[in-house]
Amino acid sequence: MEFDGALIDALRDNGRLPVTELAKQLQLPRRRVQDRMHALLESGTIRIVANVHPALLGIHLFCDVLIWVDGPSAPVLAQLRSFRETTFITAVAGSCDIVVEVGAKDRAHLEQTLAKIRKTPGVRETTSSQLVHIFKSRFETDSDIAESELHQPDQLDTRIIEVLGEDGRMPYRELGQAVGLSIGAVRARLGKLMESGMLRIACEVKESSTARRMQMGASLRLSGESDGLVEALSAMQAVEFGAIAIGTFDVVLTLSGATLQALHRTLDDLRALDTVSNVTSWMHLDVVRESYE
């Protein structure tokens, strides 16, 4: 449904956006927006939960790994899910069979994890690109920021994060009761956590839902000067995630669109950029993990 897609897009930007503000953005009656959001939440089509900045979990290095398998991919996917370092795992159709994002605390940890992936039964071949600068992601704060530069949570902050990890839209009154704070105090703390870039309240969509936007991975090879490329890619609404990389590719992207035609247009927009010499793409068929925990 077009309405569902627009509602979900608005909640992706801020999962705690008041219903009144959602209705204003969508130019629809408040009651209709409230009822539909409640139905999507109750059915499990969407979840609104807290996401913590990866730096606070000790994750400082990221790597995009393309995997080719021998035989069915399901056993390989199951094994990859057992690795704590695989923060994103998806079965794909296109240039490879599986794409994984690895999060590691340092270079040695990253190398150990890549070796573990290569040794996984069923994995025939891998190729990787280390993400050296994430310029667009679910967090407004750069994902390569130092842990020391982020607001450090105390015990009450940690409890707020835990509660919102289950219900990101919990009313301030209930949240305050759950953590032992007044409405004003819990509102101020949550505001500080979100403004610092440490916490984001996100809308997650069930993979099998028809409301979920189609996703595609695209990796770019560049030629010549790349001045202005990051700004151009960041401005594209279809780009959900973007990173400068070293290795197999120069740029790694995640794209989303309501239709295959919309994704096709985005790929053509990428090919039209002066510094882009090659675009390699794949469709996400089944995202089996998307978490830093």
The pTM of the full predicted model, rounded to 2 decimals, is 0.75
**Is domain 55-141+207-290 given the CATH code 3.30.70.3460 in the classification?**
yes
Q: What is the mean pLDDT of residues 107-118?
A: 96
Per-residue model confidence as pLDDT tens digits over 58-76: 788 999 999 999 999 999 9
Confidence grade of residue 54 (pLDDT, cut at 50, 70, 90): confident
Q: Domain ranges for the chain, please list them.
A: 1-43, 55-141+207-290
Q: Cα–Cα distance between 264 and 151 in angstroms, integer? A: 40
pLDDT score recorded for residue 141: 44
Neighbours of 70 (CB within 10 A): 12
Work out the mean pLDDT of the chain and round it to a whole number: 88
pLDDT score recorded for residue 278: 96
**Which positions ≥6 away from 22 have C-beta within 8 Å?**
7, 10, 11, 33, 37
Neighbours of 245 (CB within 10 A): 22
Burial class (CB in 10 A: 0-12, 13-18, 19+), 220: buried
More confident residue, 140 or 200: 200
Q: Would the pLDDT of 97 be above 80?
A: yes
Ramachandran region, residue 205 (left: φ > 0; alpha: ψ -120 to 50; beta: rest) = beta
pLDDT score recorded for residue 139: 62
Percent of the chain with pLDDT over 90: 62
Percent of the chain with pLDDT over 70: 91
> Phi and psi (nearest 5°) for 196?
-75, -15
pLDDT score recorded for residue 253: 97
Q: Would the pLDDT of 215 be above 70?
A: yes
Per-residue model confidence as pLDDT tens digits over 169-202: 999 999 999 999 999 999 999 998 888 878 888 8
Q: Would the pLDDT of 208 be above 70?
A: no
**Coil vs helix vs strand at 139:** coil
* In contact, 141 and 150? CB cutoff 8 Å: yes
Confidence grade of residue 145 (pLDDT, cut at 50, 70, 90): low
Fold of domain 1-43: Arc Repressor Mutant, subunit A (1.10.10)
pLDDT score recorded for residue 158: 87
**Coil vs helix vs strand at 65:** strand
Closest by CA position to 251, among listed 227, 225, 272, 280: 280
Confidence grade of residue 165 (pLDDT, cut at 50, 70, 90): confident
Q: What is the mean pLDDT of residues 34-59?
A: 85
Per-residue model confidence as pLDDT tens digits over 254-266: 998 888 999 999 9
Per-residue model confidence as pLDDT tens digits over 277-290: 999 999 999 888 87
